[in-house]
Amino acid sequence: MSKLAIDGGKRVIPEGMIRDWPPIDDTDKQMVLASLDNPKHAFGPNSVEFQNEFAQWNGNKFAIFTNSGTAALHMGIFASGVGAGDHVLVTSYSWSSSATCILHHNAIPIFVDIDFDTINIDVSKIEAAITPRTKAIVVVHLHGLAVNMEKVMKIAKKHKLKVIEDACQAHGALFKGKKVGTMGDCGAFSFNQNKCLCTGEGGMFVTNDEEMFNKAKMLWSFGETRTPVESRDYHAYALGWMYRCSDLVGAWGRAQLKKMDGYFKIQRENGAVLNKKLKGVKGLILPTEPTGHTHNWYNYTVRIDMDAIGWKGKPAEMRDAVRKALNAEGVPVGVWQSFILPDMTVFKAKNAYGRGCPWSCKGAGDGVEYKAENYPNALKHCYSHFGMTVPLRAPNRTDVAEKVAEGFLKVFENINKLDVEKINGMK
Ligand SMILES: Cc1ncc(COP(=O)(O)O)c(C=O)c1O
């Protein structure tokens, strides 16, 4: 058995084999340079066309190009009619802005534990979290696996709640053949560096509802009712932000969008290799893809089964040792979130706009508590997981996925030999 790289052995994945994301070709360069040559840089023709093309690609009636996924989420909160002191349900494990977007509108996030298998909101726990103040649910299609939207929409209809899909990680992911962002009332995508469509920074708000589109448009651009390409009256009709994005970014987005379906296919091929090669490895809990769901493998996230390997110490210590051993083999895995959302200071300290708002607002926060121990599945996941993105992305193909699997197999075969304290610098 070969010696682990962390103990001085030869690493499995040679330096330079895993290539950077996203691939840039002549299409990207030509479109970005053409945008530079056009004097309309602030929300120019590429920004407009990117909205149209994205809406068409995803199957939405309306799309608004934003400067981040967080902006698109905030627009969704406002477009859903959420106001100060309202409650909005959200998963307990996600990126911070899946929940801070609720605070942005002076509303109160109410967390729901995750389902350990899917890492998504536990749909069976949604109804118990609904209060008379609840107006909406933010569902996050985490790591590229869609939430069961049939069940969510049934609950939402029953309780007259709006549903905002956080599809920031889930471009192209499907539930029963439907694309994320088309099943709820509105959706948000991110185009940040690591996302399946990368423009450095950027995002897209999508909806099929004209009224929600018009509301979202106001929040997006100074509270105005018209876009910069319509004849503006420069009047703030509502509380507005400046969430627009530049033409240059729009041009790059259009170029990347042309390649999205090809990227998706590659991610699926690479994910399939990992699923096949890593199946049955002792101590490794693989990501799931339930029947009816099509994963985009944005982030291939695994968990360590501490019981299966007989680890009695702190889960995060073993997890960190394994992660470092994999890194030494050249497998770029990382911890995605080291805190669950209710454990983040902004919520725990009820520290949003200051002076206790929105929780102190006319009793809106009475009874609302943020205690990490109320979310046991999220905690268990948080301390035992690690994941990776770039090795599954173009231009990396199945030869890379095979090597990544080889690195995993090597480390997990030797897992009981890892000196956890030494690797973590504790002795
Ligand atoms: C699940 C999720 N929601 C929201 C966001 C926010 O997107 P952005 O960074 O574009 O604001 C991200 C990404 O960072 C994310 O992963």
Per-residue confidence in pLDDT tens, the chain, 427 aa: 689 999 999 999 999 999 999 999 999 999 999 999 999 999 999 999 999 999 999 999 999 999 999 999 999 999 999 999 999 999 999 999 999 999 999 999 999 999 999 999 999 999 999 999 999 999 999 999 999 999 999 999 999 999 999 999 999 999 999 999 999 999 999 999 999 999 999 999 999 999 999 999 999 999 999 988 888 999 999 999 999 999 999 999 999 999 999 999 999 999 999 999 999 999 999 999 999 999 999 999 999 999 999 999 999 999 999 999 999 999 999 999 999 999 999 999 998 888 889 999 889 999 999 999 999 999 999 999 999 999 999 999 999 999 999 999 999 999 999 999 999 998 7
Question: Which residue from 168, 169, 191, 193 has its CB within 8 A of the most atoms of ligand 1, so it is best to mutate?
Answer: 168
Structure-block tokens of residue 277: 């090669």
Structure-block tokens of residue 140: 């996050």
- The 10 Å CB-count burial string (b at 16+, else e) for 392-406 is bbbebeeebbebbbe
Burial of 25 (0-12, 13-18, 19+ CB in 10 A): exposed
How far does residue 188's CA lie from ligand 1's centre (Å)? 9
Which residue is closest in CA terms to ligand 1's atom 8? Answer: 69
Element spanning 388, H or E: strand 385-388
How far does residue 54's CA lie from ligand 1's centre (Å)? 18
Which ligand 1 atom is the nearest neighbour of the CA of 140?
1
Which ligand 1 atom is the nearest neighbour of the CA of 101?
4
Which ligand 1 atom is the nearest neighbour of the CA of 203?
10
Amino acid letter, 182 = T
Amino acid letter, 171 = H
Give the residue among 320, 333, 325 at the shortest CA–CA distance from 383.
Answer: 320
> Do residues 6 and 325 make contact, with C-beta atoms less than 8 angstroms apart?
yes
Which residue is closest in CA terms to ligand 1's atom 14? Answer: 95
Supply the pLDDT for residue 30. 98
Global model pTM greater than 0.85: yes
Could you give the 3-state DSSP secondary structure of residue 137? strand
How far does residue 336's CA lie from ligand 1's centre (Å)? 12
Supply the pLDDT for residue 1. 60
How far does residue 393's CA lie from ligand 1's centre (Å)? 18
How far does residue 278's CA lie from ligand 1's centre (Å)? 29
Question: Which residue from 93, 95, 194, 198 has its CB within 8 A of the most atoms of ligand 1, so it is best to mutate?
Answer: 95
How far does residue 301's CA lie from ligand 1's centre (Å)? 17
Which residue is closest in CA terms to ligand 1's atom 7? Answer: 69
Could you give the 3-state DSSP secondary structure of residue 66? strand
DSSP state of 75: H
What domains are there in the chain, each with its CATH number? 5-22+261-337+379-423 (3.90.1150.10), 26-259 (3.40.640.10)
Question: Which residue from 139, 142, 169, 196 has its CB within 8 A of the most atoms of ligand 1, so it is best to mutate?
Answer: 169
Distances (CA, A) of 231 to 136, 188, 245, 264: 33, 27, 19, 39
> Do residues 173 and 167 make contact, with C-beta atoms less than 8 angstroms apart?
yes
Cis? peptide before 22, omega within 30° of 0? yes
Q: Which residues line ligand 1 (CB under 6 A)?
A: 68-70, 94-95, 97-98, 140, 166, 168-169, 190, 192, 203
Which ligand 1 atom is the nearest neighbour of the CA of 195?
13
Angle at 118 between CA 372 and CA 308, to 5 degrees: 80
How far does residue 337's CA lie from ligand 1's centre (Å)? 12
Supply the pLDDT for residue 103. 97
Distances (CA, A) of 238 to 220, 228, 335: 10, 16, 40
How far does residue 341's CA lie from ligand 1's centre (Å)? 14
How far does residue 357's CA lie from ligand 1's centre (Å)? 24
Supply the pLDDT for residue 170. 98
> Do residues 108 and 338 make contact, with C-beta atoms less than 8 angstroms apart?
no
Helical packing angle, 315-328 and 398-413, nearest 10° = 130
Which ligand 1 atom is the nearest neighbour of the CA of 166?
3
Q: What gap in Å lies between CA 191 and CA 94, rounded to an integer?
A: 17
Distances (CA, A) of 178 to 147, 271, 397: 12, 20, 26
Give the residue among 93, 75, 65 at the shortest CA–CA distance from 299.
Answer: 93
Which ligand 1 atom is the nearest neighbour of the CA of 73?
4
Q: How far is CA 305 from the centre of its chain?
A: 24
Close Cβ partners of 186 (under 8 Å, ≥ 6 residues apart): 75, 76, 79, 80, 162, 164, 165, 205, 206, 207, 209, 212, 216
DSSP state of 164: E
Structure-block tokens of residue 212: 């929600």
How far does residue 164's CA lie from ligand 1's centre (Å)? 14
